[in-house]
Amino acid sequence: MFQKFKEWYENRHDYAKEWKEKTGGKVLGYFCTYVPEEIIYAAGVLPVRIFGSHEPQDVTEPHIFSMYCPFCRDCLAQGLKGKYSYLDGIMIAQSCLHIRQAFTSWQLHIPINYSYYFLMPNKVQSPRAKPYLIGELAEFKSSLEKWSGKPISDKDLDRGIEILNVNRRLMRQIYELRRNANPPLSGLEAMEMVVSSQLVDKKEHNEELEKLLCELPTRKESRNDGVRLMIVGSENDDTQFIKMVESLGATLVIDDNCTGSRYFWNEAVADESRLVAIADRYIERPPCPSKDWEERRRLPHLLKLAKDYNVKGAILVQQKFCDPHELDIPAIREYFNKNGIPSLTLELDVTVPVGQFKVRTEAFLEMLRGEELF
Amino acid sequence: MKEYPTEPLKCWQKAKKIREDYYKDFAAAKEKGGIRWAGGAWSFSAIPAGLGDDVYCLTGEPYGASVAWNKEFALKCQEATEAKGYARDLCSYMRNYWGSILLNKYVFGGEFPKPDFIWQDHICCSHAKWYQVASELEGGIPHFCIDVAVGPYHDLNENRLNYVVSQLHDGIEWLEKVTNRKYDDKKLIEAVYNECRSTSLWAEICVLNKAVPAPLDEKTMYSLYVLGTLMKHTKVVADFYEELRDEVKDRVARGIAAVGNEQCRVITDTQPPWAFLNIFRYLEKYGCVSVGSLYTFGLIGMWEVQEDGTWGPRKTPQQKGIKIRTRDEALRILAEWNLARPEWQHFYSPQLKSEMMIRIAKEWKLNGILLHYNRGCEGLSLGIAENRLALMKAGFPVMTFEGNMGDEREFDEARTIARIDAFMESLGMSKLKE
Ligand code: SF4
Ligand code: SF4
């Protein structure tokens, strides 16, 4: 049922190349999930998120100081090694400094004919963020028009918004099924589904999701969920890690990752002005830690997810050196603790030390199971 | 070999006194019925000045540096922060600051003075979060933070400027609410004039260091620029910088050197490892003077390209004959002025920092550049490896050394000294004294 998503996830580069050949369209690589994909779809361009490969490399040493996160170096490495040579452009939405580092090095060293730094506001909690963002969306729109040589009409924007909204809605419906006892999908399958949505044409992705939704509720081979877990943290497309956790008699039933629910949780609500609708969506989405201030809005959101999905514990993961997540984790840990949700913190590197993590996860699961006995 | 005359700075004691008073006044603010606020050295400090003359601030980075200088206390702070579950690779100024709250100890003696509110701005990932945590550790002090990450100055437009200005307007309303005081626009306007004056003057002082021999060296400059990081908006600092400018001018006219045996000139980029400023003294053994850093120049100095194409002090509104009449005018000038800060530019592209450093290398007649791969500051080491490549490409010898501005556990002094030896040798310099 989930085969297609896995294929897309594994063969992302072939997919993008074929897409280009088939459509003659442009492909735009992006570095952060705050990019307004609606406008990119409206322009007929395919947005593709730039990921790493989880393989050790040594090509980024001259470009990135070693205290920056492994994810950003892994991303840049892919570019330097020519894995993304099919990209027509790259863009970033103002993100953490780490991934910005990968973007600017890419601009400097990998020939590309279009690059764009989208000034997403950080203080999304300020009432001033929305008008500012609308202005930035308009700038981006005209930049894309110039690049693609075509004006972007309201109709185009409606189409872009609709494609994105359908994708979000369908994934949300699938996530809803994870609330059930013995959910019909594993955390690994969910991850491959969301990550592939960031890699392929969402029109196709939507069709696949529709099919999946017909079959999934009655899926036979539903697994025993074991210990229900939540995963919270930074970028994470580490399927090996998820596989390992789920092999220990646990199921990841919900997440707060930008490769998971943070990416698609809310839709753009129609408005007379399309840019207003889009701006609202990015302001209102579940925030990344670097945008979650002064108030901590992540905390109640996380707790609600934990309750809605009936989790017994949470795994907090972060990329090594990831400052935004490092800055949130103690607060999350404490808050979860106060609310009766034990957590385990793990630090990801390019390659996951599966053996060591396994021991720690096992101990954590044992503790959670032990709690159930009493 | 040339030997230049040297002499101590006449206004040195005054600088020391201003700094001492600043930290003392903050601690004693409550005895005078005053208000205390905390925030970053980059925050719009001119704005709380509109709340009255009895408003005192504690800027976090210089405080973190003062802690770093006290190795023993710094270690205690870092350990206290780690024990709370915070990662060791986070900003070391921030960890020193949090540690002081956790230990309830002020590095200048006594308990850590609790601020009434927090007034910060955000461009590096740690800025707003630093004080989010500080607010929580202090039991929930009100916190306001302005997002200034609106792109590089050369791309500034109305929408971007308005975003910052409108947050400043909101900020003033917020200040009135949390302090229960009426805001005085006249005081704000005064503070804006002062800030422009002191930051332009600091750039003028740095320009004087283009002279050979350099009248100031980096280590000395740290003790002087710091006043701007504490309270750039005050008359005290602006007046002091005027006095300093005149004295440095006089040193240049009389050929007074910071380093008597100046043979070779370098510059650094970000914060130094504060506990090891002796590396600058070590450079002097080679007759090498560090004439500053992009950090000292560009954090407090405000610059613009002059008519002759060189880098020099930015003209202040007063020098341009601009009369600030309203709150909005004051805020627009203040926002625009700050958004031009050199140290903010390279958050968007390493090239902008490389260009500034290449310009400095040429105009300040440098022989080489030292880059501090600073594990303590993610913000200012952003893109540093690209700076290295660009500077070398432009033909300037570069030495890199790894360290940490505020956490001595990450600085290897012996290794750095060995690197300096090798670098000096590659520049054709030999030790003049042991
Ligand atoms: S993992 Fe952290 S540092 Fe890396 S890109 Fe994500 S938020 Fe940034
Ligand atoms: S990491 Fe650097 S730029 Fe960021 S808050 Fe700390 S000292 Fe400032």
Q: What was the pLDDT predicted at A374?
A: 55
CA distance A277 to B342: 35
Task: Find the length of chain B.
Answer: 434
Cβ of A359: how many Cβ atoms within 10 Å? 11
Interchain CB distance below 8 Å, A330 and B84: yes
Cβ of A272: how many Cβ atoms within 10 Å? 7
Q: What was the pLDDT predicted at A373?
A: 59
CA distance A102 to B371: 20
Predicted TM-score (pTM) above 0.90? yes
User: Which among A66, A92, A97, A98 is the best mutation to test ligand 1's pocket, defined by most ligand atoms within 8 Å of the CB?
Assistant: A98
Say whether B68 sits in a helix, a strand or coil. helix
Closest CA to A122 of A37, A34, A232: A34
Task: Please report which confidence band the pLDDT of residue A196 belongs to, taking 50, 70 and 90 as the band edges.
Answer: very high
pLDDT per residue as tens digits for the range B30-72: 999 999 999 999 999 999 999 999 999 999 999 999 999 999 9
Task: Please report which confidence band the pLDDT of residue A372 belongs to, taking 50, 70 and 90 as the band edges.
Answer: low
Q: Which residues of B touch A291 (CB under 8 A)?
A: none
Say whether B75 sits in a helix, a strand or coil. helix
Identity of the amino acid at B281 = R
Identity of the amino acid at A6 = K
Kindly state the percentage of chain A with pLDDT values over 70.
98
Decide: A262 in ligand 1 pocket, CB within 6 A: no
Residue A283 has pLDDT above 80, yes or no: yes
Interface pTM (ipTM) of the complex? 0.96
Residues sharing a CB contact under 8 Å with residue A25, sequence separation 6 or more, in sequence order? A19, A44, A45, A46
CA distance B136 to B125: 18
Task: Please report which confidence band the pLDDT of residue A1 belongs to, taking 50, 70 and 90 as the band edges.
Answer: confident
The distance of A80 to chain B (nearest Cα, Å) reads 14
CA distance A150 to A40: 12
Which residues of chain B fall below pLDDT 50? none
Least CB–CB distance from A321: residue in B89, B128, B350: B89
Residue of chain B minimizing CA distance to A296: B132
Are the C-beta atoms of A202 and A41 separated by less than 8 Å? yes
Q: What was the pLDDT predicted at A7?
A: 98
Are the C-beta atoms of B50 and B192 separated by less than 8 Å? no
Residue A204 has pLDDT above 80, yes or no: yes
CA of A324 from ligand 1 middle (Å) equals 7
Are the C-beta atoms of B353 and B269 separated by less than 8 Å? yes
Q: Are strands B303-305 and B311-313 parallel, antiparallel or unpaired?
A: antiparallel
Task: Find the length of chain A.
Answer: 374
Region of residue B44 (left: phi > 0; alpha: psi -120 to 50; beta: else): beta
Element (H, E) at A350: none
Element (H, E) at B146: strand B143-147
pLDDT per residue as tens digits for the range A26-80: 999 999 999 999 999 999 999 999 999 988 889 999 999 999 999 999 999 999 9
Task: Please report which confidence band the pLDDT of residue A350 belongs to, taking 50, 70 and 90 as the band edges.
Answer: confident
Query: Mean of the pLDDT values across residues A339-357?
Result: 87
Q: What was the pLDDT predicted at A120?
A: 98
Task: Please report which confidence band the pLDDT of residue A370 belongs to, taking 50, 70 and 90 as the band edges.
Answer: confident
pLDDT per residue as tens digits for the range A140-191: 999 999 999 999 999 999 999 999 999 999 999 999 999 999 999 999 999 9
Query: Mean of the pLDDT values across residues A235-247?
Result: 91
Interchain CB distance below 8 Å, A323 and B384: no
